[in-house]
Structure 1
């Protein structure tokens, strides 16, 4: 039973809520906390807010937070992770949907002509680091994949009863349920290459960078073979440059698999180059089609392989390449399975997640907290975290005896710069330190533009702007009762807005049908 659902705690929370609701300024407090309502841990700020005339810069008035309810200003935390703050991640997912969708259909400063550009949706997976329990449905008969109840195939069915060098069976005949905790766990922990997996996670971003460059090189070579000339553009420096007539803009979301390896879902849009305006979004030259983009993605995924820098534990480094499963689908705007709206919703959903699917969710680890999560003889996740901490040790510790490793674990974090230093910093993310949603500059609008537009819409247009001189004083609601009231009011507000949107859509549809 969780803490907030214990009888004594719930009674105290209800009493706090009744006490707040009985205060004379209760409705003023609700309005004051409305912008942070629903946030799990809002930021509390104190200081002075000054109203300044937008045209002249003249100070119109000042207000100190001591004059506000609770003597603080509440601000939503803005955390993107659904496991940390459901309300703020809901806002982030909405923004992510708009960022992805605008790159496919236009809107919000993106020209609508991008809807006619060739686009593919590619999924790049990590290679195998050892056999893991998995769930595979060879033939779907369900109507909705999100509620799939089809019978899966056996996990690892083998006729020959082989065993690994550690004496564990190399076969599994279980038909795993979708919620089975065994999914993603190795068949043999000692055979699994945990070191290689965390190194792959930390270098996955570099692998994607090289892959995109290879895609663009493939398309540029294709244009040369087909006689499509290069384009002369004038950059900011002023010197004329001859560039390929096509370029690729992308929107990318990282998803953590159950085994703890990241894979990327990428939207790749093929654009042309306008010699008069290098920032313009124009279609690619005639003759360069979505088939060519599809071929370029597959060719680049097979081609890009590199080795990491030497490490004391592996002087030759680790090979970094994509797995065998590279899925490329074409985006359409019809009624098919892969439409712009479905892809945008799919990517927005994963943009609010991190390592929750693996069963591990923690903040950044330190020498004092890592022992609670890392164990070289523990389960799969404990061994991954231990690999991050061990491989990311400062280079001055180049010994492998047990005493030195124990001393290193309690020592300082990355005090020297080396290629694997990020493993310790991102040990709580199993080595992956990249952003979970990234995009090319030209692909779509930015999160900042969406937030600024929302703030401008909410701000009263009275010719003034508010300038705050504020300091952080804490995070979270003052009481559990305050959290209950603020979150309930926010949930009711969202429900009213949802119902209003549905009613408006119904009225518009009825008007068109009439």
Structure 2
């Protein structure tokens, strides 16, 4: 029997979705014999007469590591008690690859299609976007202290993904240039760090490293991006006014005229954690025009604005925009929040023969849309007062010090009210800590934003992609002719603002009933993926073969 590589053996676990939690040693509603092994439980399930109906019933969540169990009524005539196991299994839908590889793969594929549609069109986006000026930008964080790094100044390899070039020394210095930090440590490193070296991203001197500034920067990075995009839009608007490009006149319902900028900046962005535990952003930015009669339409920008102007606007915004997070007793002057000096701008080549193509950019962003803090070696759920001591240590590792800084700076601060010249602290005062979100996002090293975001008009939405997938699965085994059966489906009413009651389902649990069920479900999903990939490769081969044939006369 072909088995899945997913971990299906139940063992103690307090974290959501890290493995297949087969917590209940039951078979349906009947307890399993205690002497059965994992494969024995799978064999017991497979030999039951209702096995075919059960495997078909769990198909929608077969590859999920920890599916949700829903219990309740299905309309007026059916109940989940009539179904196998008495519940409906629903995939967890988690984005993170370390939590659920199957659901993360679905999310990654949707993200790829969503991002690529914003570059070449399709899925409701006009194909004319392929001619819009677009660029692939990388915004990095500033330095919070010297860290160990993997450096290769000159590549001799042919494949960067499998680079085996000898790295350069980390932080070389001449003997006369070696200086000591205030703690007496030499700020030098002659080691040639390989890619898997655990010292990469760690400070040369942890006591000198500004952990507080880094976690506050992570917390405020979303606001910094919002202001940066606004500044780039304003720069492009001023550029259009200087060059005499006419603005778009739009009339409101009251008859007043509004003058809109003729250029609109649309984006798709992902956040990626570096080894040092700070996020940086990769963004696809596209220039669009404005249609006075349909503001939601995606049209080409006016003549006279190109990718070079887009680069100038982004450089201007990255170098001039910043903010200060102040008002904290640990740092009364505040922490400055700004971008680092490394700003990478690469124009996109949609012809497929440049350094950065649409497929490469979409694949790169979709890859990091399913990742989190794994690269730093930290992986946990939300921390609280009972679990913080397991991860935070002000004298521990680099990540432990970052989590400690989040918990310490994000502590609640009582509001101070001044009455009669005296400072009073009312018991019911709200916290006034500007960094109070750090405790909530301590498990994310302070970053509380979304890992994948996009502008509203950049492309389609995840909801539309999921709806199309649901519609396809419901009709893939039916005839192409539409037959009105009188059955009401939720998919038929997606465009209507109505309340359609199809049942009352409640949460009944998470995970598979036993390890045997997890083994069978994950194996069936793995075999289905292999069949789909094989079919996709065969179709691609046939299309390529037909493309090589001469055209018919």
Give the TM-score of the pair, scaled to structure 1. Answer: 0.91
| Aligned equivalent of 1:408 | none
- The answer as to whether partners of 1:13 and 1:480 remain within 8 angstroms in 2 is yes
Decide which moves more: 350-359 or 369-378: 369-378
The equivalent residue for 2:361 is 343
How far 1:305 moved relative to its partner? 2.0
Is the 2:414–2:432 Cα contact (8 Å) retained in structure 1? no
- Could you say what secondary structure the match of 2:183 adopts? coil
**Quick check: which one's helix share is greater?**
1
Alignment check: 8 A CA contact 2:149 2:170 kept = yes
Look up the match of 1:437.
Answer: 452
Q: Which runs of 5+ in 1 are unaligned?
A: 51-60, 399-413
Q: Deviations over 1:393-427 (max 9, x none)?
A: 111299xxxxxxxxxxxxxxx97354211101000
**Distance in 2 between residues matched to 1:193 and 1:397, nearest whole Å:** 27
Q: CA deviation at 1:139?
A: 1.0
Secondary structure of residue in 2 paired with 1:182: coil
- CA apart distance, 1:337: 2.5
Instruction: Tell me the residue number matched to 2:40.
Output: 15
Q: What does 1:256-335 align with in structure 2 at a 5 Å threshold?
A: 256-333=273-350, 334-335=352-353
Q: CA deviation at 1:464?
A: 2.3
Gaps (5+ residues) in structure 2?
Answer: 1-6, 12-33, 417-428, 476-481, 491-501
Out of 92-101 and 456-465, give the one that drifted further.
Answer: 456-465
How many angstroms apart in 2 are the aligned matches of 1:13 and 1:468?
35
Matched with 2:422 is none
Q: Counterpart of 1:454?
A: 469
Q: Could you tell me how far apart the structure 1 residues matched to 2:148 and 2:431 are?
A: 38
Give, in angstroms, the shift of residue 238 of structure 1: 6.1
State yes or no: 1:141 paired with 2:156. yes
After alignment, is 323-332 or 276-285 more displaced? 276-285
Residues 233 and 278 of structure 1 are in contact (CA less than 8 Å); yes or no, is this contact kept in structure 2? no
Give the secondary-structure state (helix, strand or coil) at the position aligned to 1:251: strand
1:432-511 correspondence runs (5 A): 432-460=447-475, 462=485, 463-465=487-489, 467-511=502-546
For 1:63, the equivalent position in structure 2 comes to: 78
Deviation per CA, 1:460-488, whole angstroms, max 9, x where unpaired?
47442262310001101111111111011
Matches within 5 A, 1:209-248: 209-234=226-251, 239-248=256-265
The match for 1:155 among 141, 147, 170 is: 170
- Answer yes or no: is the 8 Å Cα contact 2:328–2:433 preserved in 1: no
Which of these residues, 13, 28, 37, is aligned with residue 53 of structure 2? Answer: 28
Q: Is 1:194–2:211 an aligned residue pair?
A: yes
Report Cα offsets for 1:400-458 as digits up to 9, x if no partner.
xxxxxxxxxxxxxx973542111010000000000000000010001111111111222
Deviations 1:291-317 (A, max 9, x none): 100111111111112211311111111
By how many angstroms is 1:5 displaced?
10
2:371 counterpart of 1:359? no
Secondary structure of the structure 2 residue equivalent to 1:174: coil
- Is the deviation greater in 134-143 or in 250-259? 134-143
2:30 corresponding residue in structure 1? none
Name the SS of the counterpart of 2:345 in structure 1.
strand
Q: Which residue of the partner structure matches residue 24 of structure 2?
A: none
Contact kept? 1:183, 1:258, Cα under 8 Å: yes
Match of 1:250 among 250, 257, 267: 267
Counterparts of 1:365-384 in structure 2, within 5 Å, are 365-384=383-402
Match of 1:425 in 2: 440
Give the SS at the match of 1:464: coil
Q: Alpha carbons of 1:433 and 1:5: their partners in 2 closer, same or farther (altered >3 Å)?
A: closer
Matches within 5 A, 1:96-107: 96-107=111-122
Distance (Å, rounded) in 2 between the aligned partners of 1:239 and 1:504: 56
| 8 Å Cα contact 1:4-1:10 kept in structure 2 | no
CA-to-partner distance for each residue in 1:316-361, whole Å, 9 max, x for gaps? Answer: 1100100010000000122222000010000000000000000001
C-alpha displacement of 1:377: 1.3
* 8 Å Cα contact 1:164-1:170 kept in structure 2: yes
Does the C-alpha gap of structure 1 residues 10 and 214 become closer, same or farther in structure 2, counting only changes over 3 Å? Answer: farther
Give yes or no for contact 1:426–1:432 (8 Å, CA) kept in 2. Answer: yes
Structure-2 separation of matches of 1:312 and 1:416:
13
Cα distance in 2 for residues equivalent to 1:230 and 1:157: 54
Alpha-carbon distance in structure 2 between the residues aligned to 1:202 and 1:288:
34
Secondary structure of the 2:489 match is: strand
Displacement of 1:493 after TM fit? 0.5
Measure, in 2, the Cα distance between the counterparts of 1:511 and 1:226. 50
CA contact (8 A) 1:374 1:386 kept: yes
Match of 2:412 in 1: 394
Number of matched residues?
Answer: 486
Q: Which residue of 1 aligns with 2:28?
A: none
1:181 and 1:13 map into 2 onto residues whose CA distance is 36
- Distance in 2, matches of 1:239 and 1:455, equals 44
